[in-house]
Amino acid sequence: MAEEKKEIVIIDETTIKSKIHYIRNQKVMLDSDLAEIYGYSTKRFNEQVKRNIEKFDDDFMF
């Protein structure tokens, strides 16, 4: 089995802040933005969240 290489990527604060939106007075981030930050496709990101839903707070998504 090939060893998977992990790359460390530094994302500046303004990039993160620009992806935070206010909806009904709540700070939210879109799944597509989170997927981009973590380096996944949106589909794959959502699959991972559903597979590990117990690791997230109740208010993680709505």
Looking at the predicted structure, is the pLDDT value of residue 59 above 80? yes
Tell me what pLDDT residue 58 has. Answer: 85
Burial 38-55 (b: 16+ CB within 10 A, else e): eeeeeeebbeebeeeeee
Question: pLDDT digits over 3-54, tens only?
Answer: 777 788 888 999 999 999 999 999 999 999 999 998 899 999 999 999 999 9
Tell me what pLDDT residue 5 has. Answer: 78
3-state secondary structure of 29: strand
pLDDT band at 1 (very low <50, low <70, confident <90, very high): low
Tell me what pLDDT residue 55 has. Answer: 92
